[in-house]
Amino acid sequence: DMTALGVEEPTIEPKATEHIKEMVETIEQLIERDMAYVVDGDVYFSVEKFQEYGKLSKRTIEEMLSGARVDIDKRKKHPADFALWKKAKEGEPSWPSPWGDGRPGWHIECSTMSMKYLGMGFDIHGGGQDLIFPHHENEIAQAEGATGQKPFVKYWLHNGFLNVEEEKMAKSVGNVILINALEEQYKDHIADLRNDLRMLFISTHYHSPLNFSQKKLKEAAAANERIGNTLDKLRAFDTDDVDTTKIDENSNLIKLITKTKVDFEDAMEDDFNTPEALASIFNLVSNMNTTLDESPEPDEEEKKIFKAAYMTLKELVEILGFSYKGLKISVIDEVTVSDEQQTVIEKLTGNKTATRKELLDLREKARKEKDFETGDKIRGIFASEGLIIEDTPHGPKLKKKH
């Protein structure tokens, strides 16, 4: 599923059960540095010994304990102390250790494996906002407490929660959406699913809650359609005979292209502000479409501008992980039709509904086979939506009627 969505595979996927030895060594370091203590086969981290405890969540120990789920154990020196090693219980997995058989605590495995493969002071650590305390706070305390080095991590990225149709996504609610269900919806257009999901996700800042809905997915598809179609029109000017090394730098459009890159980079450097980065892209898209419409027969200078715009737009969308190959038409936006037209669609496709992409593909097939009757029927369906079909060297394009 992740490969289909264009998500790169991790270089390393360590398993906690294969790193028990290293976890025991980390705990031993903490005990040696007087950061942890043993109680009847259990080992606890002493939060009072780590003076910077709470620096990630920017709260005192007392504030963090208020309302938090903390094990009440009178053997602990402080209520906030947390388990590094838990004594074995009957029926639970366990491993040998200097303190007797047991298993590692929840937090120690992450610190240990991170330090082993990434070292101290690695760049980025991510996770949900609900992990800031206690999990990530405890990871910091363990790593910096065991090594005496800091920082454990340079930058922390905590994402907001995912909602579905304005409700929190949860198995108990029954609103969990699986990737393979979306793949079925997109059928043979997985590349479009990759783009549309990515657009939906980054249209919201990663800090903020994200609401998934079919409406939002269609909005993302429409946004990708705008970018894809603009790239398609500009691509015609990406030829060797258009020399952008000799270009009028004082042109307002060239200044806009340059500003787009600056605005994009500023947004991404501002805590990965992807909504602002997208805004800079769509500003360029809008201006280029207006200019293209106003220049049906561009002169040499305009061709240079269009090529420069294409190169910049292509570069920026690729940074965000998008891939547009040829004309982009929504594959999930079903056409709105009358009962009569629904009958036509059923005869053409075997289904009562069809997407614009499916109808355009059918119309293209009919055009090549000189099946003018079918072509006219499809053209009529689009006309009822206020759309016209424009044939271009790169394939058919839908345009709104003026």
Q: What is the pLDDT of residues 231-261, one digit of tens each?
A: 988 988 988 888 888 888 889 999 999 999 9
In a domain, residue 333? The reply is no
Residues 106, 86: contact at Cβ < 8 Å? no
Residues 283 and 361 in one domain: no
CA distance 48 to 252: 61
Residues 135 and 54 in one domain: yes
Residues 313 and 352 in one domain: no
Residues 289 and 203 in one domain: yes
pLDDT at residue 155 in the model = 97
Last residue of a domain, one of 131, 159, 187: 159
Given the structure tokens 């990434």, which residue do they identify?
118
- Structural tokens at position 286: 């809008």
Average pLDDT over residues 264-290: 97
In a domain, residue 324? The reply is no
The b/e string for 52-91 (b: 16+ C-beta within 10 A; e otherwise) is ebbebeebeeeebbeeeeeeeeeebeeebbbbbbbbbeee
- Structural tokens at position 249: 């730098």
pLDDT at residue 340 in the model = 75
Average pLDDT over residues 26-31: 99
> The domain that contains 27 carries what CATH number?
3.40.50.620
**Higher-confidence residue: 276 or 64?**
276
Residues 294-326 pLDDT 10s: 988 899 999 999 999 999 999 999 999 998 875
pLDDT exceeds 90 at position 187: no
pLDDT at residue 21 in the model = 98
pLDDT at residue 385 in the model = 73
Name, in order, each residue with C-beta under 8 angstroms of 397's C-beta and a sequence gap of 6 or more.
229, 232, 327, 389, 390, 391
pLDDT exceeds 60 at position 43: yes
Distances (CA, A) of 165 to 211, 288, 292, 390: 6, 34, 38, 36
pLDDT at residue 327 in the model = 44
Residues 136 and 185 in one domain: no
pLDDT at residue 175 in the model = 86
In a domain, residue 6? The reply is no
pLDDT tier at 402 (50, 70, 90 boundaries)?
Answer: very low
Extract the runs of DSSP E, i.e. beta strands, from 282-339: none
Given the structure tokens 């029954």, which residue do they identify?
174
Residues 136 and 220 in one domain: no
Residues 274 and 369 in one domain: no
Query: For the chain, what is the domain count?
Result: 3
Residues 42, 75: contact at Cβ < 8 Å? yes
pLDDT exceeds 90 at position 8: no
Last residue of a domain, one of 319, 352, 373: 319
**Residue span of the structural domain in which 42 resides:** 16-159
With H, G, I as helix, E, B as strand and everything else as coil, classify residue 158: strand
In a domain, residue 325? The reply is no
> The domain that contains 181 carries what CATH number?
1.10.730.10
Residues 132-182 pLDDT 10s: 999 999 999 999 999 999 999 999 999 999 999 888 887 888 888 888 888
Name, in order, each residue with C-beta under 8 angstroms of 318's C-beta and a sequence gap of 6 or more.
none
Residues 105, 83: contact at Cβ < 8 Å? yes
**Higher-confidence residue: 124 or 332?**
124
Residues 9-20 pLDDT 10s: 899 999 999 999
Phi-psi region of 354 (alpha: psi -120 to 50; beta: other; left: phi over 0): beta
pLDDT at residue 167 in the model = 86
Residues 49 and 136 in one domain: yes
With H, G, I as helix, E, B as strand and everything else as coil, classify residue 167: strand
Residues 56 and 70 in one domain: yes
Distances (CA, A) of 153 to 5, 56, 109, 156, 267: 28, 11, 16, 7, 23
Last residue of a domain, one of 132, 159, 186: 159
In a domain, residue 5? The reply is no
Average pLDDT over residues 370-377: 89
pLDDT at residue 275 in the model = 98
Distances (CA, A) of 328 to 191, 193, 233, 271, 322: 10, 12, 11, 30, 12
Residues 243, 304: contact at Cβ < 8 Å? yes
CA distance 159 to 355: 33
CA distance 386 to 268: 37
Residues 24 and 76 in one domain: yes
CA distance 352 to 346: 5
pLDDT tier at 328 (50, 70, 90 boundaries)?
Answer: very low
In a domain, residue 278? The reply is yes
The helix or strand, by DSSP H or E, that contains position 400, with its residue range, turns out to be: strand 395-400
pLDDT at residue 393 in the model = 61
CA distance 120 to 145: 12
pLDDT exceeds 50 at position 30: yes
In a domain, residue 1? The reply is no
Residues 354 and 307 in one domain: no
Average pLDDT over residues 332-361: 74
List residues bridging with 156 in a β-sheet.
125
Q: How large a percentage of the chain has pLDDT more than 90?
A: 59
User: CA angle, corner 59, sides to 116 and 46, nearest 5?
Assistant: 55
List residues bridging with 164 in a β-sheet.
167, 212
Residues 298 and 361 in one domain: no
Segment among 35-39, 72-76, 82-86, 221-225 with least mean pLDDT: 72-76
Of these ranges, 129-133, 162-166, 343-347, the one predicted with the greatest mean pLDDT is 129-133
**Higher-confidence residue: 127 or 72?**
127
Q: What is the pTM of this model?
A: 0.78
In a domain, residue 328? The reply is no
Average pLDDT value for the chain: 89
**Higher-confidence residue: 263 or 382?**
263
